[in-house]
Amino acid sequence: MEERNLICTACPMGCRLVVKMEGDQVLQIAGNRCRRGESFGRQEAIAPQRMVASTVRVLNGFHPLLPVYTKGTVPKKKIAEVLAEIRKVQIAAPVANKTVIIKNILGTGVDVVASRDMPAKA
Amino acid sequence: MLAKNIYDVVVIGSGPGGVAAAIAAKQAGADDVLVIERDVEPGGILVQCIHNGFGLTSLKEDLPGPGYAQYYLDQAKALGVEFLLDTMVLDVTSQRKLYLSSQEHGYVDLEARALVMAMGCRERTRAQIRIPGMRPNGVFTAGTAQRWVNVEGWMPGKKFVILGSGDIGMIMARRLTYEGAKVERVLEIQSYLSGLTRNYVQCLQDYDIPLQLNYTIKRIMGKNRVEAIEAVQVDQRWNFVPGTEEIIPCDTLLLSVGLIPENELSRKAGVILDPVTGGPFVDETFQTNVPGVFAAGNVVHVYDLVDWVTEAGFGAGKGAAKFALAQKAAEQRYTPVKAGRNVRYVVPHKLDKQTLEQEEVHLQMRVTKPIEEDVWIEVHGENNSIVRRSERYVRPGEMVTVVLRPAHYAEVCKAGTLTIDIYPKSEA
Ligand SMILES: Cc1cc2nc3c(=O)[nH]c(=O)nc-3n(C[C@H](O)[C@H](O)[C@H](O)COP(=O)(O)OP(=O)(O)OC[C@H]3O[C@@H](n4cnc5c(N)ncnc54)[C@H](O)[C@@H]3O)c2cc1C
Ligand code: SF4
């Protein structure tokens, strides 16, 4: 049996989790202050997931960049690829908050959306 | 010029603290609420905090900074909060008079029945932590770099060292890595992390960025541009430990060494600051020692979660609205009394309508010059004449009295201001 020390990042409390594992099987999780910590610990021990936030270029925008983020978490291993996809995008202003910029990125089932309204340059 | 020169509640700063205060003030019944912001768009620091992690408590959603800001900005606009952007508040008095410099309106002064200070905080700079060595280009605060990379779209360097393990520094370490830069090291002089553990995990550990606790910078090297820094270990009393020096080549040094509440304006308004927090002493409604002056967000103390900034803003806005409405009720009880044609002054300067309803009130005045013929002495409002009586002559040496009686109460109530004119009947 293996014991792993992880930190829950599901909220800013940052609880210290102790995850007992047997191979790829999670046997027990301790140290979480809430139920979300339980599912976070299970996921983190097997296949960690993260949200990703970055920017895309905007044409004729109030700012030259539009902030975007993944509406859900994607596998940590895929972050570099996700960023590479995001980097390819260029979009024309105006853009409304929550507009889907990339649908189902890399088949993860997660959309990349705008983080805010981006008006056109005055 | 602005549409109004007096507002129920004026908020300085459009960050989450200020916007929440404006929303709460409207909801608590304030009519005219104005938010003043020096930047060209509202939102405060959140505009550049593009990472997610905002709103977990207050909105039950994991939002990026700009999205969190927009949620409350949309709400404020829907409630009819007015925004004055690209406008710097230069000065504030303890009587809540504000002096502004605005791109669109020029130099403006305004009055607030209640005022909310929500100017946020600013970052400590190199000057405030005294790093020896050369003064090359390439030393920035983490927040400045955050603005360049996330909003303005350019990278300040390729190889970074970050001094301080504050949240902004750790978040920038990840962000710079995303944009292809190399973050060589994060150095922290204390024996513990100064930001959140979750940021250590998801910003440094995830990308194998080394953090060294009990380490600081001994000197900065480079003539025109940073070429390297010399890192060194410190003991418990922050003395350098000889033999632990290491030269780390890099072209940019970011400082993430703490935030200071921005309270220059508060001080001008007579607000007393707590030397420990750097922010004003406040009561449970976030009112400072100056009546009618409230404070919200990072001007009070540096918060680590924006959700609490919003909550504090709601508290301050509600307190400010309550104060403003009481102030307005007091103003409405009184009608100003003004000297009109040929009148030098009138006493009293204002009239309590509730008194007039019960008993008579004597208005006493002097004329500006002698008028040696029959005159009318007339008290009037904007559109109504209230009392008129005659006199054979008037002279500056002899005081003139007019009596208002409870019978005049209804007419007085129709007037915003009472004006007294004295003029020859021949001119009537
Ligand atoms: C660089 C930086 C990065 C940060 N990153 C994070 C983060 O990632 N996550 C997090 O939770 N918190 C972060 N914070 C903390 C953050 O400040 C708070 O979470 C939150 O934004 C504070 O809100 P606020 O309304 O008090 O102030 P702010 O958001 O700072 O807003 C204050 C506003 O007042 C305006 N202002 C100031 N003086 C005047 C004047 N004289 N006239 C007119 N306008 C004026 C400013 O332009 C600004 O828009 C960061 C802080 C800084 C400084
Ligand atoms: S266990 Fe619950 S409380 Fe603790 S960090 Fe995770 S989500 Fe937050």
Say what the ipTM of the complex is: 0.93
Residue-wise pLDDT tens digits, B149-176: 999 999 999 999 999 999 999 999 999 9
DSSP label at residue A97: T
What's the rounded Cα separation, in Å, for the pair B250 and A43? Answer: 37
Q: Whole-number mean pLDDT of chain A?
A: 94
Q: Counting one residue from A and one from B, how many pairs have CB atoms under 8 Å apart?
A: 71
The pLDDT value recorded for residue A10 is 86
Instruction: Search chain B and give the residue with CA nearest A79.
Output: B178
Under an 8 Å CB criterion, which residues of A touch B?
Answer: 7-9, 11-12, 14, 50-51, 53-55, 57, 62-65, 67, 69, 76, 83, 97-98, 115-117
pLDDT tens digit string along A92-120? 999 999 999 999 999 999 999 999 999 99
Residues 6+ apart with CB under 8 A from A93: A58, A59, A60, A61, A62, A66, A118, A119, A120, A121
Distance CA B325, CA B322 (A): 5
Q: Which CATH superfamily is domain B6-122+260-332 in?
A: FAD/NAD(P)-binding domain (3.50.50.60)
For residues B118 and A42, give the distance between their C-alpha atoms in angstroms, rounded to a whole number. 41
Nearest atom (ligand 1) to Cα of B87 = 43
The token duo for B343 is 């009148």
| Strand pairing report for B63-64 and B52-54 | antiparallel
Is any Cβ of chain A less than 8 angstroms from the Cβ of B85?
no
Q: What is the mean pLDDT of residues B191-206?
A: 94
Q: How far apart are the first and last CA of chain A?
A: 63
Is the full-model pTM beyond 0.95? no
Peptide bond into B348 cis (omega under 30): yes
Distance between CA atoms of residues B288 and B141, nearest Å: 31
Query: Do B293 and B117 contact (CB within 8 A), yes or no?
Result: yes
Domain spans, chain A: 2-46, 53-114
Cα–Cα dist A3/B146, whole Å: 38
Query: In A, which residues are within 8 Å of B196 by CB distance?
Result: 12, 14
For residue B126, name the pLDDT band (cuts at 50, 70, 90).
Answer: low
Q: Reply yes or no on domain A53-114 having CATH 3.40.50.720.
A: no
**CA B63 to CA A80: how far, in whole Å?**
21
Chain A residues with CB-CB distance to B53 below 8 A: 12
Q: What is the pLDDT of residue B1?
A: 56
Average of per-residue pLDDT across B74-94: 97
**pLDDT for B125 beyond 90:** no
State the pLDDT confidence band at B127, using cuts at 50, 70 and 90. low
B125-257 matches B6-122+260-332 in CATH topology? yes
Question: Residue B170 and residue B294: Cα distance in Å, rounded?
Answer: 32
Fold observed for domain B125-257: FAD/NAD(P)-binding domain (3.50.50)
Provide the CATH number for the domain formed by B340-427 in this structure: 2.60.40
